[in-house]
């Protein structure tokens, strides 16, 4: 994303706060006027001290009082302006961050599958913070700096147009230098931001899988890989800081030259009585005030390069195309549960087909088991059924309706799903069970927990159903999976998907949960993905998937008699 495009979008985002911007500009102008009027008063005081015939104490007193009033008023106005600028910056970042997170909720699963979670988190959190810091600095110094330059120039013109012209002619040297350095620093700040996101993703990955790292004694290699990323971040950060740090000393050098020229010309004019001593003192102060904002603005521009680089990464997330719109789709209401796969073809990598010519009919209320070797496409069928991905060819129908013509919300609402990987929200047990039905009563929640065989261990928790679950809650993986099962027990959806739903549960509890599932699946179309074939012997139909196709199908006894691929899979689990 080009720098200019990002800047336009940032300005558009800030533009929503027009009234606050106007007030901020007004306060900035008043604050600058108060501050810059002080050199005029100081010049008057000097002229009063060097007045002909003695010191003019009345003029000096008047000037000193004016200086105190202007300094106090300028400070208060500056304080109010900073409050408003902070509000504008944080409100802008809040809106952009909300927009990014809102879009995340609409993105297809393919996006999160293909991007490191840590990098996504870094964009929404770290990059947004960097962007906010850049905006605050920009508002605080950019507005004030521009107004200071304009007002100072007006004051200098009133004192001596000739000297003011000399200052204006030399000033562009600072601008050209600052622009050159800013262009060079943007690319480094962009690489710095990207590498910081990569580092966050790596840290997140290693912390989540620390047990595996230690079990395979990969600590050394992990540290080595982190050092490599950290070294790249150090290198990009140093280059970015190096380029940005050039701005201030270079512009200060040019500004000192301007100050010296003003001093030389002003001294000559004072000797020739073309300007008073007080006027000369005021002009020296104004020449310093005039060049000072260029230093600040050049520093702000450098910081804004970093902010824009971070904003670009956030906008890239915001601009990711969401799932195909449901416009024109119908609601799936009270489905019978007839599910049909018609010549379905799909692949994640379009150069290699995963599922091809897959056809099957699952009648209402039937229990369908899906088995096969690793990588054959079992879980992919579930992803297609819930439209986490859309088929490349063919169609999937529910009650004769192509699921692409059904709203995703209503489709997924009619499916209950329990996955092998458990996900427990950082909330109470009650809120976790009622995740899909927020208005559930306590009686319904307890009944679901009992059906899932989770009520016993829940009551043993410190606060029972009001216990807040987090990483230190002491729950085993099996207990967490029982809570996930309770979620589905509460919803009682017309169709079920169980993807290794009891993989982390002990055999005794599994038998009880299977009984609960059997009662739950009565009259409901159910798809059960299983590796332990002993758990699906009572299925109405077992689909044996191999190389993306249905290799065999039938009941458990029928497939064993056929002595085909299923029989080999089954016997391999019980072979002595």
Per-domain residue ranges of the chain: 3-318, 339-574
**pLDDT-based confidence at residue 295 (cuts at 50, 70, 90):** low
- pLDDT for res 504: 63
Return the CATH number of the domain spanning residue range 3-318.
1.20.1560.10
Percent of the chain's residues with pLDDT above 70? 91
Q: How far apart are the first and last CA of the chain?
A: 62
Nearest-angstrom CA–CA distance, 179 and 168 = 18
3-state secondary structure of 431: helix
Q: Please give the pLDDT value at position 576.
A: 47
Closest CA to 300 of 136, 101, 491: 136
Q: Which backbone phi and psi does 171 adopt, to 5 degrees?
A: -60, -40
pLDDT of 52: 58
Distance in angstroms (rounded) separating the CA atoms of residues 325 and 128: 28
Residue 122's alpha-carbon distances to 90, 131, 193, 324, in angstroms, are: 18, 12, 9, 26
What's the Cα-to-Cα distance from 304 to each of 10, 232, 300, 308, rounded to whole Å? 11, 22, 6, 6
Q: Which residue has the higher pLDDT, 551 or 284?
A: 551
pLDDT digits (tens, 9 = 90+) for 320-330: 887 777 777 88
Q: Looking at per-residue confidence, does 259 or 438 come out higher? A: 438
Residue 1 reports pLDDT greater than 60: no
Beta strands in 102-247 (DSSP E): none
Residues 6+ apart with CB under 8 A from 140: 81, 82, 85
- pLDDT (average), residues 402-414: 87
Q: Write out pLDDT tens, residues 309-361.
A: 888 888 888 888 877 777 778 888 888 888 998 988 888 877 777 888 888 88
* 202-206, 478-482, 499-503, 520-524: the lowest-pLDDT one: 499-503
For domain 339-574, give the CATH superfamily. Answer: P-loop containing nucleotide triphosphate hydrolases (3.40.50.300)
pLDDT at 7 exceeding the cut of 80: no
Model confidence at 159: pLDDT above 80: no
Q: Which distant-in-sequence residues (6+ apart) come within 8 Å of 202 by Cβ?
A: 116, 118, 225, 226, 229
Binning pLDDT at 50, 70 and 90, where does residue 469 land? confident
* Matching residue, tokens 């997924």: 412
Are 205 and 218 in contact by the 8 Å Cβ rule? The answer is: no
Q: Measure Cα distances from 40 to 28, 158, 168, 284, 286 in Å.
A: 19, 11, 20, 11, 9
Which whole-number Å values give the CA distances from 539 to 3, 229, 358, 488, 557, in the listed order? 59, 50, 20, 20, 10
What is the average per-residue pLDDT within 81-103? 85
Binned at pLDDT 50, 70 and 90, residue 299 comes out as: low
Burial of 310: CB neighbours in 10 Å, binned 0-12, 13-18, 19+:
buried
Q: Residue 406 has what DSSP assignment?
A: B
575 pLDDT higher than 60: no
Share above pLDDT 90 across residues of the chain, in percent, rounded to a whole number: 2
Q: CA-to-CA distance for 159 and 262, rounded, in angstroms? A: 13
Q: Based on the number of CB atoms within 10 Å of its own CB, is 385 exposed (0-12), middle (13-18) or buried (19 or more)? A: buried
For residue 178, is pLDDT > 80?
no
Q: 124-156: per-residue pLDDT in tens?
A: 888 888 787 777 767 667 777 777 788 877 877
């Amino acid at each position: 994303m080009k720098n200019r495009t990002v800047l336009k979008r940032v300005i558009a985002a800030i533009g929503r706060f027009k009234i606050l911007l106007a007030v901020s500009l007004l306060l900035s102008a008043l604050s600058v006027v108060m501050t810059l009027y002080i050199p005029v008063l100081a010049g008057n005081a000097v002229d009063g001290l060097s007045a002909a015939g003695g010191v003019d104490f009345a003029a000096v007193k008047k000037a000193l009082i004016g200086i105190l009033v202007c300094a106090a008023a300028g400070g208060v106005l500056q304080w109010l302006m900073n409050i408003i600028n902070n509000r504008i910056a944080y409100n802008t970042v809040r809106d952009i961050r909300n927009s990014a997170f809102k879009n995340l909720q609409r993105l297809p699963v393919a996006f999160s599958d293909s991007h490191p979670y840590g990098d996504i988190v870094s964009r929404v959190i770290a990059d947004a913070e960097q962007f906010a810091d850049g905006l605050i600095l920009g508002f605080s110094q950019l507005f004030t700096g521009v107004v200071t330059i304009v007002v100072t120039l007006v004051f200098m013109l009133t004192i001596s147009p000739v000297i003011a012209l000399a200052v204006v002619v030399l000033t562009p040297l600072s601008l050209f230098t600052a622009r050159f350095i800013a262009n060079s620093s943007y690319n480094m700040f962009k690489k710095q931001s990207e590498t910081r996101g990569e580092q966050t993703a790596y840290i997140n990955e290693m912390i989540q899988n620390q047990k595996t790292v230690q079990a395979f004694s990969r600590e050394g290699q992990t540290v080595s890989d982190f050092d490599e990323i950290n070294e790249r971040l150090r290198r990009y950060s140093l280059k970015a800081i190096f380029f940005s740090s050039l701005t201030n000393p270079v512009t200060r050098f040019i500004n000192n030259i301007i100050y010296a020229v003003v001093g030389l010309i002003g001294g000559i004019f004072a000797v020739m009585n073309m300007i008073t001593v007080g006027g000369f003192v005021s002009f020296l102060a104004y020449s310093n005030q005039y060049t000072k904002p260029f230093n600040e603005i050049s520093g702000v521009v450098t910081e804004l390069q970093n902010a824009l680089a971070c904003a670009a990464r956030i906008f890239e997330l915001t601009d990711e195309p969401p799932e195909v719109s449901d416009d024109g789709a119908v609601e799936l209401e009270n489905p019978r549960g007839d599910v049909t796969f018609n010549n379905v073809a799909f692949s994640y990598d379009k150069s290699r087909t995963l599922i091809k010519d897959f056809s099957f009919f699952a009648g209402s209320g039937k229990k369908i088991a899906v088995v096969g070797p690793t990588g054959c496409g079992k879980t992919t069928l579930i992803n297609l059924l819930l439209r986490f991905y859309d088929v490349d060819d063919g169609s999937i129908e529910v009650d004769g309706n192509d699921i692409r013509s059904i709203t995703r919300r209503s489709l997924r609402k009619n499916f209950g799903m329990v996955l092998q990987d458990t996900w427990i929200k950082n909330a109470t047990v009650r809120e976790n069970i009622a995740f899909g039905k927020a208005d559930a009563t306590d009686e319904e929640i307890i009944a679901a927990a009992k059906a899932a065989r989770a009520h016993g261990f829940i009551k043993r928790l410190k606060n029972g159903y009001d216990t807040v679950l987090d990483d230190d809650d002491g729950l085993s993986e099996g207990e967490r999976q029982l809570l996930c099962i309770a979620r589905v027990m509460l919803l009682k959806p017309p169709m079920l998907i169980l993807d290794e739903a009891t993989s982390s549960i002990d055999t005794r509890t599994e038998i009880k949960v299977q009984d609960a599932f059997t009662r739950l699946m009565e009259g409901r179309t159910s798809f059960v993905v299983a590796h332990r074939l002993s758990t699906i012997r009572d299925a109405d139909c077992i689909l044996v998937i191999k190389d993306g196709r249905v290799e065999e199908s039938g009941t458990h006894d029928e497939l064993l008699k056929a002595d085909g691929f299923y029989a080999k899979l089954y016997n391999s689990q019980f072979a002595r």
